Amino acid sequence: MLEVKAITQRFGGVTALEDVSFGVKASDITGIIGPNGAGKTTLFNIITGIYTATSGTVHLEGKNVTRMVPEKLATLGMVRTFQNIELFGKMTVLENVMVGLHTKGTSGILSSALRLPWQVKEERRLREQAHHWLSFTGITDLADAEAGSLPFGKGRLLEIARAMALEPKLVLMDEPAAGLNSRETLELARLIQRIREAGVTVALVEHDMELVMDICDAIVVLNLGRKLAEGTPQEIQENPEVVSAYLGEG
Amino acid sequence: MHRIDSRDKKKLFRHEWVKFALFSLLIMILPVLFEGGYLLNVFIFVGIHTLLAVALNLLLGYAGQISLGQAAFFGLGAFASGILTATYGQNPWLMMVVVAAAVGLLAFAIGFPILKLKGHYLAMATLGFGIIVYIIFNEAVELTGGPSGFSGIPNLTVGGITFDSDFKNYYLIWGVTLVTILLSLNLVNSRIGRGLRAIHDSEVAARVMGVNVRLMKVQIFALSAVISSVAGSLYAHTMTFVSPTSFGFNFSVELVTMVIIGGLGSIYGSFLGAALLTLLPEFLRAFQDYDIVVYGFLLVFMTMFMPGGLVRGIPSLVQNLRARIGGGASDA
């Protein structure tokens, strides 16, 4: 599904990532872990087209998407969520999801201003689809609340609903469990599994080891901008290098 | 955290229509109350300013992109319409459309490089554009009459009616303004409107959702230029005289003030802002030369005490007062 090859990213004199390569298999849940400053979020920003890597390539389903902008990647079926949730705060929860359906609509300025019949029909269709994704993530009752007023945990769910509205092939989640309590984290784990069951590939950056070991099929470990290890949760847990990187030994 | 089912949604929608109908009705009967006095003339300007403020609000209030060059688009519409009809004898209605299209294209062309900029830089770039156009108005004396202005612009006609009185022009301009308000209300509550508001709230998230941020900013910039140009054409044919001083930097700032005072991201707010800033100088003649100071003070005051603008500030003020009076009464 996703093939990352020899990604290097330098910011001025600082090397954030060096020669990082890994793959994400279709319908897997792949976790990317590593201590703070390992370069996980930078890697996500490169894959999703927000940063341009100094060198290296990214392929999505065999297609080279290395220098593609996020809006283009969205039409190819790649979408992400953010570490510090990026909602459209002044819009309602339903409207947020409807922005996620932006690429599913075609109406432009003229047809919208004139409320042409097919535009009205399209609006109705988008609204119904948005409601579907709200119920998928279990926040239907918040449809008309202002997104900026949501508690953090609900905001996370909304971000996932909005991302799912694109009907992506691949969802990248940047620390989806950050700031959630243990009950919310458990619900999130179930939601991510349901997303996979819906045929969507998931890659996530996460600090919550329990969550990662619990739901991931494959794990990539980064440390100080380099790939330290790659394997199943079992293999990673038994890898002495990983253990020492986390415990600060050696 | 309440739920609105589809029936309520329809009611809500009907509520929007009722609001618009009442607003239109109010506008339609105002001239009767004024009995053709000079307030009627002032309200023609309120109409033109509302048109311009709505245009800027689409850009500033919804998409969150500043323009300090709106007066230039207004002036281009006014001068181009004036020159093409008075000097070259072209059909005014046709020219209004042709000029608006040309101004829209110009905005589209300059929008691509300019709207890459953000915040202060965007403000500076649009300001620069406004100043360049203003200088051209002043210097192209052969064409525009220069600083002394351009006169002899014909009134608009439809069938046998010539729009040569305040009364007729009031209905002409407010007709166009009300239609624009209606279309703008539709637009901001659509896929496009959601895209614009998304850009305002989080540009990066909008891009990740597949919103073509760059194109959408340029499109809305061009649309606001088109509306401003139409406002300019109407202004020229109503006044029959235009001069560069009406289209300078001060007026661009005045328009931004109208939008912010009325309420960013509220179409009706643009009317309130336009009405206040058009009526105020009439009542504060003494401030005439210091109007920019008054606007500055108003801006500071509003952003400090009513950041949502009049359209949101007044209801909450009323609520506060009522609560305070209610509270006082129960204490007594």
A220-245 tens-digit pLDDT: 999 888 888 899 998 888 888 888 87
Which residue in the set A73, A91, A112 is minimally distant from B190, CB to CB? A112
**Which class would CATH give B22-292?**
mainly alpha
Q: What are the angstrom distances between the C-alpha of B182 and each of A194, B38, B176, B211? A: 43, 28, 10, 25
Dihedral in degrees, nearest 10, Cα atoms B227, B228, B232, B233: -20
Q: Is B120 on the interface with A (CB under 8 A)?
A: no
Q: Is the pLDDT of residue B56 over 50?
A: yes
Q: Give residue B289's pLDDT band: very low, low, confident or very high (50, 70, 90).
A: confident
CB of B78 closer than 8 Å to CB of B242: yes
CB-based contacts of A79, cutoff 8 Å, min separation 6 = A73, A163, A166, A168, A170, A171, A172, B208, B209
Residue B328 clears pLDDT 60, i.e. is over it: no
Q: pLDDT (tens digit, 9 = 90+) per residue, A104-153?
A: 999 999 999 999 999 999 999 999 999 999 999 999 999 999 999 999 99
**pLDDT(A190) > 90:** yes
CA distance A69 to chain B (A): 8
In the three-class reduction of DSSP (H, G, I as helix; E, B as strand; rest coil), residue A120 is classed as helix
CB nearest A99 (choices: B194, B204, B220): B194
Note the pTM of the prediction, 2 decimals: 0.91
With an 8 Å Cβ cutoff, are B197 and A88 in contact? yes
The pLDDT of residue B213 is 95
Please provide the size of chain B in residues: 332
Q: Is the ipTM of this complex over 0.90?
A: yes
| Contact (CB<8Å) A102/B184 | no
pLDDT at B181 over 60: yes
Q: What is the rounded average pLDDT for all residues in chain A?
A: 92
Query: What mean pLDDT do residues B291-316 have?
Result: 82
Percent of the residues in chain A that have a pLDDT greater than 90, as a whole number: 74
Residues A13-37 have a mean pLDDT of 90
Query: Which residues in chain A have their CB less than 8 angstroms from residue B223's CB?
Result: 109
Q: Over the stretch A59-114, which tens digit does the pLDDT of each residue have?
A: 999 999 998 999 999 999 999 999 889 999 999 999 999 999 999 999 999 999 99
| pLDDT on residue B332 | 36
Mean pLDDT, chain B, rounded, equals: 90
Higher pLDDT, A183 or B284: A183
Residue A167 backbone class (left: φ over 0; alpha: ψ -120 to 50; beta: rest): left
CA distance A161 to chain B (A): 12
- Cβ A86–B211 below 8 Å, yes or no? no
Decide if B191 and A105 are in contact by the 8 Å CB cutoff: yes
Output the CA torsion sign for B120, B125, B128, B133. Answer: negative
Does residue B84 sit at the A interface (CB-CB below 8 Å)?
Answer: no
Tell me which residue in A99, A105, A142 faces B198 most closely, judged by beta carbons: A99
Name the band, by pLDDT with cuts 50, 70 and 90, for residue B10. low
Query: Where in chain A does DSSP place strands (E)?
Result: 2-11, 14-24, 29-33, 55-60, 63-64, 78-81, 170-174, 201-205, 218-223, 226-231
- Partner A contacted by B202 (CB < 8 A): yes
The DSSP call for residue A177 is T
Cβ density class B135-159: b for 16+ within 10 Å, e for less: ebbbeeeeebbeeebbeebbbbeee
B184 to chain A, any CB pair closer than 8 A? The answer is: yes
The whole-angstrom separation of Cα A131 and Cα A121 is 16
N- to C-terminal Cα distance for chain A? 36
State the Cα–Cα distance between residues A238 and B84, nearest whole angstrom: 82
Q: Encode chain B in three state secondary structure.
A: CCCCCHHHHHHHHHHHHHHHHHHHHHHHHHHHHHCCCHHHHHHHHHHHHHHHHHHHHHHHHHCCCCCCCHHHHHHHHHHHHHHHHHCCCCCHHHHHHHHHHHHHHHHHHHHHHHCCCCHHHHHHHHHHHHHHHHHHHHHCHHHHCHHHCEECCCCCEECCEECCCHHHHHHHHHHHHHHHHHHHHHHHCCHHHHHHHHHHHCHHHHHHCCCCHHHHHHHHHHHHHHHHHHHHHHHHHHHCEECHHHHCHHHHHHHHHHHHHHCCCCHHHHHHHHHHHHHHHHHCHHHHHHHHHHHHHHHHHHHHHCCCCHHHHHHHHHHHHHHHHHHHHHHC
Q: Does B85 touch chain A (CB under 8 A)?
A: no
Residues from chain A contacting residue B210 (CB–CB below 8 Å): 71, 74-75, 102-103, 166
Instruction: Tell me the pairing of strands A2-11 and A170-174.
Output: unpaired
What residues in A contact B222, CB-CB < 8 Å?
none
CA B123 to chain centre: 17
With CB atoms and an 8 Å threshold, state whether A102 touches B201.
no
Q: Where is average pLDDT lowest: A168-182, B47-61, B273-287? A: B273-287
Out of A88, A107, A115, the one facing B201 most closely (by C-beta) is: A88
pLDDT of residue A250: 43
Of A91, A109, A114, the CB nearest to B219: A109
| Domains delineated in chain A | 2-247 (3.40.50.300)
Check residue B224 and give its pLDDT: 98
Mean pLDDT of B210-223: 96
Coil, helix or strand at residue A95? helix
Angle of CA points A10, A12, A13, to nearest 5°: 80
Task: With H, G, I as helix, E, B as strand and everything else as coil, classify residue A228.
Answer: strand
Q: How far apart (Å, rounded) are the C-alpha atoms in residues B153 and B131? A: 24
Q: Is B4 on the interface with A (CB under 8 A)?
A: yes
User: In the predicted model, what is the mean pLDDT of residues B116-138?
Assistant: 95
> How many angstroms separate the Cα of B110 from the Cα of each of A151, B103, B113, B225, B243?
42, 11, 6, 11, 25
Nearest to A144 among B4, B183, B204 (CB): B4
* Confidence tier at B127 by pLDDT (50, 70, 90): very high
**DSSP state, residue A207:** S
Q: Say if CB B40 and CB B31 are below 8 A apart.
A: yes
List chain B domain ranges.
22-292
Would the CB atoms of A102 and B208 count as touching at under 8 Å?
A: no
Q: Count residue pairs from A and B with Cβ separation < 8 A.
A: 107
